[in-house]
Amino acid sequence: TEAGHDLLPEAKAVLRQSYRFESRALAQFNGEAMRLNISICHGISFEGISETVAALMQRYPYITGALQMESEEKVWNDVRERRSHMGLVLGDTPPNRDIYGCICLGHIQYCIVASKDFPLARLSRITEQDLSQHRQILSEDARRYLFSSQYWLVNSVSWALYLAALGVGWTVAPLELAHRAVSSKKNLVI
């Protein structure tokens, strides 16, 4: 039925979770070490994630695992190929999301960041046309925010913020990261 078809993705997710639970329970019963590999997209703050993982380590002292900072595409690939048990990404879910158990954990605001000396910093209101006239430093995870035909692609939001601080262009960054970058690199503005 149409109703059954609509519920199919959730049913598949419940089955996957059930299989994971069963295999972990069996591993614990057999005395095997528990492992949790997490792939995290560049641009996601270490704060919050690190504290959560630290609390997990305290609560489950015998669990081992790995934390990887990677591009969004690599995170999706690691989860799909089962190199990671969990992936945290910025942005939209993939078109074939039914093979992943996706949950939206929240929303992240993005902002424009440039050096205080950059021409955009002198404007009281910035338009898309203003952005298109200046070099953009584009992190892989912010590709959907491409406004300029003159850009440099980098694989890290931190790198994009650093280059913006040098005054070679402007960038789009998660607001939380931008605030931290502005406080540590005094010549940046949001």
pLDDT tens digits for 98-152?
Answer: 666 777 677 778 889 999 999 999 998 999 999 999 999 988 777 778 888 899 9
The pLDDT assigned to 76 comes to 86
Residue at 89: amino acid letter: V
Pick 79 or 183 by higher pLDDT. 79
To which residue do tokens 């960038």 refer? 171
pTM score > 0.75 for this model? no
To which residue do tokens 């005094």 refer? 186
The pLDDT assigned to 134 comes to 94
Pull the structure tokens for residue 53: 């993982």
